[in-house]
């Protein structure tokens, strides 16, 4: 019988050892984030990598990636967060600060900065 890698058991033990979950405070409301950074956040940031490498990311893909990040972090409270009216600058600040909030390395935080900078460059169309 093949060995079973029980990610449920491994993850439960890891999450139990964590003392606190990151919290986002926005417009007077607090949103408790998942105990571990969802992989979908890293995946969405990775889709923005061409901006870091001198390439371009169109605004539709940028918006889709940022929405994926927010969905992954806020879960069932995503719409509640969105209804509070975060600005482009607010979402850029979220991207810049999410890795440190999860205690990830400075390198991981640096990886998110180009995506945050790209988001900060977005100007509303008239």
pTM for the predicted model, two decimal places: 0.73
- Token pair 């964590």: residue: 18
Is 94 inside any structural domain?
Answer: yes
Is 65 inside any structural domain?
Answer: yes
Is 30 inside any structural domain?
Answer: yes
* Statement: residue 104 has pLDDT above 50: yes
Half-sphere exposure of 74 (CA within 13 A, CB side): 22
Q: How far is CA 25 from CA 30, 77, 81, 84, in A?
A: 4, 13, 10, 11
Mean pLDDT of the 52-69 span: 77
Is 11 inside any structural domain?
Answer: no
Range of the domain at 52: 21-121
Is 8 inside any structural domain?
Answer: no
Domain count, the chain: 1
7-57 pLDDT tens trace: 898 888 887 777 788 999 999 999 999 988 899 988 888 877 665 555 666
Is 110 inside any structural domain?
Answer: yes
Is 73 inside any structural domain?
Answer: yes
* Statement: residue 126 has pLDDT above 50: no
């Amino acid at each position: 019988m093949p060995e079973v890698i029980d990610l449920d058991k491994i993850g439960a033990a890891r999450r139990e050892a964590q003392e606190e979950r990151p919290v986002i405070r926005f417009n007077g409301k607090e949103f408790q984030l998942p105990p571990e950074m969802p992989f979908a956040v890293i995946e969405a940031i990775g889709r923005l990598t061409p901006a870091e490498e001198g390439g371009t990311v169109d605004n539709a893909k940028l918006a889709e990636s940022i929405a994926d990040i927010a969905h992954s972090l806020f879960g069932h409270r995503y719409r509640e967060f969105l209804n509070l009216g975060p600005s482009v600058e607010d979402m850029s600040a979220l991207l810049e600060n999410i890795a440190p909030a999860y205690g990830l390395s400075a390198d991981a935080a640096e990886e998110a900065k180009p995506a945050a900078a790209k988001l900060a460059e977005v100007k509303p169309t008239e």
